[in-house]
């Protein structure tokens, strides 16, 4: 069963709950680390969570700064999968 898009009245409280920012059909999180090695180690943890869920963020690394973007591309926007993964990522810090 394909994931269902969330209506706006469910998205806004979910965005507030996870503490990320909404940008159109995505939620975005930026994290800053002391150096590239620390940023990369965190990205590897994010990658393990994403792989376990079969749901993957877009990831941009710029030395010590990482930007994650979540959207369910197959559904064309935000679904519960995005917020579940955001909460799991929040659990590893940054």
CA angle 39, 41, 44 (to 5 degrees): 110
Instruction: Give the CA distances from residue 53 to residues 1, 6, 81, 87, in Å, rounded to whole numbers and listed in that order.
Output: 15, 19, 9, 12
Element (H, E) at 21: strand 21-23
Give me the residue label for tokens 């010590």.
64
Domains defined for the chain, CATH in brackets: 17-90 (3.30.1360.20)
pLDDT score of 93 more than 90: no
pLDDT in tens, 38-80: 999 999 999 999 999 999 999 999 999 999 999 999 999 999 9
To the nearest 10°, report the CA torsion of 28, 71, 3, 43: -70
């Amino acid at each position: 069963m394909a994931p269902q898009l969330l209506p706006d009245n469910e998205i806004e409280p979910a965005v507030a709950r996870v503490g990320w920012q909404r940008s159109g059909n995505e939620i975005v999180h930026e994290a800053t680390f002391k150096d590239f090695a620390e940023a990369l180690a965190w990205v590897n943890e994010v990658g393990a969570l994403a792989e376990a869920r079969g749901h993957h963020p877009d990831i941009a690394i710029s030395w010590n700064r990482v930007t994650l973007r979540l959207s369910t591309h197959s559904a064309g926007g935000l679904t519960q999968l995005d917020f579940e993964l955001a909460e799991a990522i929040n659990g590893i810090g940054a």
